[in-house]
Structure 1
Amino acid sequence: MGWWDQPRGPDGKWIKGGAGVSVAAVAVGLAVVGGGGAGGAAAGGAVVDGAAQAANAARAEAAAKPNRGARKAKADDGWRKLRLRNVREATENALDCAINSYGQVRDFFLRNPCADLDRTLFTLADPAGNTFVVSVSWVRMRSAKDVPPLKKLIDTDGTGSVKSLGFDLLKHQGVRFTGTPFRSRPSKDVLVVAEGAVVSGKPDPAIFQQAVTIAAELPR
């Protein structure tokens, strides 16, 4: 089964199942029922911190929802103009950019944490049947002054980037983001990062680049 066949819920997110869910459940259970003393207090603190992070993520998710209708409409219009078919679309909001990035970009986020991260992954197909993904990340920093150095770093080859949704699964399936096509766009305290990767066939380079350009212009 390919990554694009993974089951999804009504909101478009991948549905985790099998052993992964069991392992996560066990981990949460151990944190909740951890023994007394310092170890128990630390575990309790971790649960409280986790709950706070989950609440913050839910608030960020709710705040982003009103714009997603406009984003989808603009994206669909762009794909139609390029004669592309939107095979699948997944969206997710997160608060930690460091764990969702790699290389020097990850190091940057460890020093300068972001406020939140909104990501969408489009799977597109052209009339010839060539398929590719376009990843878009809206990185909102805590201060607008952090955006220019982040853009400079992420625009430099070999420094890493923000991970796409399903990054590890895509990599396992042989889908690699090489930095071409790529575009980043600053907007006040937000840096938009868009890049594409081939899934199958040989997409027209001009169409491929235009798709990434359209994605970079989508509203947060």
Structure 2
Amino acid sequence: MAKQEFRQGPNGPYPITPRKGGGAKLFVGAVAVVAVVGVGSAAGLGGAGIEAGTVAEALPGNVSGDVVDSLPGRSLKTRTSEARKSAERGRKRETFGRFKLKQLKHAVRHEAECLAAATGRVRDYLARHRCTALDRALYAIGDGHGNAAAISVVRVGFPKKSDATGCEKVEEVQGSGDLRPLGAAALGLAGFSFSGHHYDSRIDKRTLVVAEAETVAGHLDAGTLDALAEVSVWFPRL
């Protein structure tokens, strides 16, 4: 049995969830992230904490209490299944609504060059296998009661599907480096860092898509964070 690894967080150590291929993806500046923050709390659970006042200023629409639960009484499994269907259709607001969350802000950047955004062995791989496009996005979402999230998704295009699959294999290995996400400052959430604890990836034809979830302040349970990463990776375009 593999030895359980832990990461030190602001509230003490927590176990690292194994990723596909038997490894655990751990890094600061994760490829994609869901950062949950509470306006009434500055305590961080995963990455660096953000001041409560900063969150309130950056996401003023998250205190209106106007979020409607589109799947009242449904289990997380059902919410995740329905959210994936919405994500596959590119309906991001509907996807978030499946978890009783709403989109507050978003930022997207389309680039033709990947090396400047890559580190470690991921960068080495990209130096040998040219990427055709790098798309990075962050989506701020919230529950209307002060708890908010910033979802980041990264899509890396390649000339061949085998190149995308090869990059995924490197990306999944612990300590292999990463493709830096679009900075959280793009949503006015400067001061946030990512651990890579809740992670998912997939191959979309010749494109590698990676998604990540992370609690920063406030509370969202681990299962929901995993589910958010799991469905966000299915967005067909950013």
Same fold at TM > 0.5: yes
Contact 1:178 1:197 in 2 (8 A): yes
Hey, what's the Cα distance between the residues in 1 that align with 2:224 and 2:204? 25
**TM-score normalized by structure 1?**
0.62
Counterpart residue type for residue 122 of structure 1: Y
Hey, what's the Cα distance between the residues in 1 that align with 2:155 and 2:206? 10
Q: Secondary structure at the match of 2:173?
A: coil
Cα deviation, 1:40-72, whole Å, max 9, x if unaligned, reads xxxxxxxxxxxxxxxxxxxxxxxxxxxxxx989
Of 183, 195, 210, the match for 2:212: 195
Residues 151 and 73 (structure 1), Cα distance of their counterparts in 2 relative to 1, 3 Å cut: closer
Hey, what's the Cα distance between the residues in 2 that align with 1:157 and 1:141? 23
- Structure 1 residue 132: Cα displacement: 2.7
Residue of structure 2 equivalent to 1:89: 106
Counterpart residue type for residue 217 of structure 1: W
- Please state if 1:117 is matched with 2:131: no
Residue of structure 1 equivalent to 2:198: 181
Residues 144 and 73 (structure 1), Cα distance of their counterparts in 2 relative to 1, 3 Å cut: closer
Hey, what's the Cα distance between the residues in 2 that align with 1:100 and 1:72? 28
Contact 2:184 2:190 in 1 (8 A): no
Of 134, 137, 144, the match for 2:151: 134
Gaps of 5+ in 1: 7-69
Residue of structure 2 equivalent to 1:104: 121
Residue of structure 2 equivalent to 1:39: none
The higher radius of gyration belongs to 1
Hey, what's the Cα distance between the residues in 1 that align with 2:153 and 2:224? 17
- Please state if 1:143 is matched with 2:128: no
Hey, what's the Cα distance between the residues in 1 that align with 2:145 and 2:185? 27
Residue of structure 1 equivalent to 2:33: none
Gaps of 5+ in 2: 1-52, 60-86
Percent identity of the aligned residues? 28
How many residues are matched?
156
Of the two structures, which has the highest relative contact order with CA contacts closer than 8 Å and spacing of 6 or more? 2
Cα deviation, 1:97-123, whole Å, max 9, x if unaligned, reads 111122221221122120001111112
**TM-score normalized by structure 2?**
0.58
